[in-house]
Amino acid sequence: MRSNQVVRCCLRLSLCAALTAAAGCDSDECGVDPSGRDDAAAGDAIEVEVGLSGGIGELEFVPLEPGGDIPLETFGQGGTHATVAVRARGLGTNVAFFDVTVENARTRAVVMTVPSSRPQLWICDEAREVCDQVSVHVMTGGLAPVGIENRDGLEVIVHAQVRDETGRRGSGSQEGVLRWMGPPLRDAGVRDAGGADDDGGADLDGGL
């Protein structure tokens, strides 16, 4: 009984080897892609670009050049924000999730938008192949030591991740420099008592 099982096992192995040879590939070239990537899925990925808001009403996407200036702004509700934009190519829909992180290029401290729990509307062309999110505000508390002077001129890396409701996703990054676009408020983002930065938002590094 044991010998019959061994014979059947050998026959199966021989058949597998013959089929592999007929296909014209070695065993490590057939079957599952050792890289773990599916070509069709990889070709269907969403292309993501980091940029800035521009044009009439700041409603147009403007590419961020490597090392370009990223506006720092302070709004009525308080807190100091970096303002960027995100472009997704090949999205195919005007509703998708996105998350943006800003990383201190020197210390690697990271802050981000509130993690998206629901898909957002995008500004798209008619074919919904090129879609934009403009005026994306990221709180900068924790990126640098307390004091807004430390953020003006700070070198950062902006990362953007996009995914649709079917699970397709893509990501993109760009380097830039935080710059005040107008005269900063000296007390913006700093408490009068204790001197601690009170910017909100998601701080992934716990501040400095």
Cα–Cα nearest to 49, from 154, 119, 156, 134: 134
Whether domain 41-181 has CATH 2.60.40: yes
Instruction: Kindly list the averaged pLDDT for each block of 10 residues, start to end, along the chain of length 208.
Output: 45 41 40 34 80 90 97 81 97 97 96 94 96 95 75 95 96 96 52 39 46
Using only the alpha carbons of the chain, give its radius of gyration: 25
**What local confidence, expressed as pLDDT, does residue 149 receive?**
60
**What local confidence, expressed as pLDDT, does residue 17 receive?**
43
Sign (positive/negative) of CA torsion 92, 164, 47, 63? Answer: positive
β-strand partners of 97: 163
Cα–Cα nearest to 44, from 90, 88, 87: 90
**What local confidence, expressed as pLDDT, does residue 31 receive?**
35
**What local confidence, expressed as pLDDT, does residue 144 receive?**
86
Neighbour count for residue 186 (Cβ, 10 Å) = 9
**What local confidence, expressed as pLDDT, does residue 124 receive?**
97
The C-alpha atoms of residue 114 and residue 100 are separated, in whole angstroms, by 9
Helix (H) or strand (E) holding 14: helix 2-23
**What local confidence, expressed as pLDDT, does residue 145 receive?**
77
**What local confidence, expressed as pLDDT, does residue 79 receive?**
82
**What local confidence, expressed as pLDDT, does residue 19 receive?**
37
pTM: 0.68
The answer to whether 154 and 178 have CB atoms below 8 angstroms apart is yes
Structure tokens at 175: 């380097």
The answer to whether 62 and 134 have CB atoms below 8 angstroms apart is no
SS3 letters across 105-162: CCCCCEEECCCCCCCEECEECCCCCEEEEEEEEEECCCCCCCCHHHCCCCEEEEEEEE
**What local confidence, expressed as pLDDT, does residue 150 receive?**
72
- The answer for residues whose C-beta is within 8 angstroms of residue 84's C-beta and 6 or more apart is 50, 51, 52, 53, 64, 70, 100, 102, 136, 138, 158, 160
93 — phi, psi (to 5°)? -155, 160
The DSSP secondary-structure symbol of 59 reads -
